[in-house]
Structure 1
Amino acid sequence: MKSICLFFQVHQPFRHRRYRFFDIGNDHYYYDDYSNETIMRKVAEKSYLPTNKLLLEMADKLEGKFKVAFSITGVALEQFELYAPEVIESFRKLAKSGCVEFLSETYSHSLASLKDAAIFEDQVKQHDERIFGLFGHKPRVFRNTEMIYSDEIGERIANMGYSAILTEGAKHILGWKSPNFMYVNAINPRLKVLMRNFKLSDDIAFRFSNKNWSEFPLTADKYVDWLEKLDAKEEVVNLFLSYEAFGERQTEDTGVFNFLEAFSEKIVKSKKLKFVTPSEVVENLQPVSAVSVPHPISWADEERDLTAWLGNGMQKEAFAKLYDMKQQMAKCIDPEMLKDWNYLQGSNHFYYMSTKYFSDGEVHRSFNPFDSPYEAFINYMNVLSDFKIRLNTFVPENEVESEIAALHKLVEEKEEKIKKMEADLLRLHKAKRRKSNPRKK
């Protein structure tokens, strides 16, 4: 039987507020709490909660034959806890059903795998600890931010102890080969590589409600028929999607939830298909060959490369400035600084700066909270400038910065002392007024 590996990405970033030049050094809070809460509540109600409810029903109804995998970022989990704790509880119920595998990834959905091994490994460790703490699962399979993968990244993942990694079945990598097999890393064959069937995945994620699509409407019968008619030699079909495809990108009135339910039932009833988790793919199938990926790929845009995040000068400059602080951050132990450092690494900040208006312009504009990529860049650099000032007070770069930090600390201490003295003076004035006018309460 052909294996159907269904995987969902779940991610929501902490979005920055409009942070002006004059805020630098004066206001150290960077986040748009209203937008973060509003968006999270909206997506939770339209997508996460109803889809989790449906999957739980499928797990019960299909008696263990329905399987699904999730990669949930640490920053998404934090926002669930802040704004939609019922989503956490619904994922816990799914975890207890036995039908779910939770995968590993970077805590803040960062691009650290492209820059620094130590930071990358620390983020992965943070993520796995949070997953285990919430759901009792220790991830065995890895899924990098935006499915970014290369031979070198794969080797690092293998050395970290993971059995497999999920990535994009990019045409320029596979050539004539099919994504519907299991491969191995070209450097370390211990790491298995599962490659996304982007056509079949995007048929659901992006084309489902497109009335101009030649295959519209997409029914469960039609879709399962496509799967059953694939070459009999092909062993696994990896359907990797963003979870927001259900209820958010493809709204409820498109019939996408009915499709998901009918699709799941038909897979289980099929004599040619079965659901599996990524770990089950690794255990049950043999790799057909190594796959060579000398340069990083991703699942973004037509090019399937890194240009969505690092394709122009603004993105590269912001990325470089951020990680210029890595040595200082390695010495920093302040919890607020570490939290902001994690959030600053989120790949969305760089995505907002994209100027790709030709091949995938609509996608980039629709997910961008800023009016232009240049505004996104300026906003991020303002935040980064303030963060750098704060970091220098904790970990001065040199003697000059050390002196500035000492003076800054002295000024803060004096300001606190002045506030205390003003409070004492106000209290004494009130006491004096009460003594001079004892009838007045």
Structure 2
Amino acid sequence: MPDRDDLDPLAGYRDRFVGTESPLVYLDGNSLGRPLRATADRLSTFVTTEWGERLIRGWDESWFRLPEVVGDEIGRVCLGAAAGQTVVGDSTTVLLYKAMRAAVALRPGRTEIVVDRDNFPTDRYVADGVARECGLTLRWIDVDTSAGVTPDQLAAVVGEQTALVVLSHVAYRSAWLADMPTLTEIAHGAGALVLWDLSHSVGSVPTALDACDADLAVGCTYKYLNGGPGAPAFVYVDEALHDDLAQPVQGWMGAADPFLMGPTYAPAAGVRRMLSGTPPVVGMLALQDMLALVDEVGIDAVRTKSVALTEHAIALAAELLPDTTLASPRESERRGGHVTLHHPLMREVTAELWRRDVVPDYRDPGGLRLGLSPLSTSFDEVTRGLTAVREVLDSLG
């Protein structure tokens, strides 16, 4: 029987990543992606030429516009977003705050923010803080932690008091892939705005923000976009909202004329007004390499490989790990790029796997999370990883 990797048209791209020649099994690409080999060269060249030779002139020559240039590339390659609506800067948490605070200000008189209880902790924490700051109430959706928010659940809680709905495109725990068009339409039907967290989908699952009539979105770049630890996040804002949008952290880089150094703040035109401080130029370098690779391969081909990898993991788990429970959607059209398996001993299993150079992720309660990065993860790697899970479970039993 032919090896799955021999039949994979994208298998050759694995060699472009640092460390894939080693026996280490890396199944945590949805927490931190492997670096590209090209990035080592880019970083070195940047230090010796752009930074080392051009010095402060680099701002005028390219760095000043880099948040918008890279933002437009993320929009074009991954988000289905026209130019001028996406910008890079700050962490995911900071951009979530800016986007939430700006969104609720666009719906004065409304009193509620809707969020589900299994949304990523940062999303919930920021929503709680914005609600307290603005005198609003959180309206909670209780969801199945092996699934996610459904249209019926959202329709049951939105109404004339809903200012903002905060949703994840792919649930961090279960990998539930939300029905973005339908959920957005439901929120809009109630007159609310929607903020999408794309952190667990960008670079792995195609997104059509413009076609879905999305309002705002935020996502990190160190998972499937391989930007490296602490790589800056991005924010998308529908151009229809730009003129009225007022974000709460007014900084000089989001001003209409940053170098005027004037006595009062006037926001920049367009999505650039979401910036605050000096852009993280070095933090955007690795991201550019991965965007170029995803553009070369095509996001639809990336998604096809992602589905094949997760289906391979689910089939192997059914064969090798019948004592575990699948805590992710079985249907590929409802599943993002990772798979979660439940077992009471998974915390101990994960610790032992790490000692063996098999690196998955753990999420309470008892969840082994397999983050399968489509261009750097092989089918053989998944097989070796799940075989190791079986061996460790047997040793602990």
Q: Same fold (TM over 0.5)?
A: no
Higher RCO (Cα < 8 Å, 6 or more apart): 2
State the TM-score, normalizing by the size of structure 2: 0.33
State the TM-score, normalizing by the size of structure 1: 0.31
Pick the structure with greater CA Rg.
Answer: 1
